[in-house]
Amino acid sequence: MFSGGSYQEVARWLKNFLTSHAKREHPRAEVVFDEDDALDGRAYRARIHVGARVSAPIELDYKDVAEHRGELAWCAALAQRTRALVKATLGAGTADARAR
């Protein structure tokens, strides 16, 4: 039902999906996509910001996201990965948004 879509449409879906699951771990979590022309049209790289803390990057292939975004198991795995990334970021306490 939700598979396929243009690069921009899939990017909107992915940002909303990641944000939704990140906020389940911490209400101030925000998802920010890296502005990298080398990724444009082929992949996405996002980091989760919680206050001054910034997560490690999560990189996802555009075709993979477009193809699987309608699959419950794939979405559940990505949701779990996202929530774990927020927990790790909050636990680390060393990543600073100004340093990135």
The answer to the question of residue 2 being in a domain is no
pLDDT digits (tens, 9 = 90+) for 7-53: 999 999 999 999 999 999 999 999 999 988 889 999 999 999 999 99
pLDDT of residue 37: 86
User: In sequence order, what DSSP letters do the residues of the chain get, joined into one string?
Assistant: ------HHHHHHHHHHHHHHHHHHH-TT-EEEE---TTTTTTEEEEEEEETTEEPPPEEEEHHHHHHHTT-HHHHHHHHHHHHHHHHHHHHH----GGG-
How many domains does the chain contain in total? Answer: 1
Question: Is position 48 within any domain?
Answer: yes
> 21: domain range?
7-99
**Residue 2 scores a pLDDT above 80:** no
Asked if residue 88 belongs to a domain, the reply is yes
- Please write the tens of the pLDDT for every residue from 58-70: 999 999 999 999 9
94 occurs within a structural domain: yes
Inside any domain, residue 28: yes
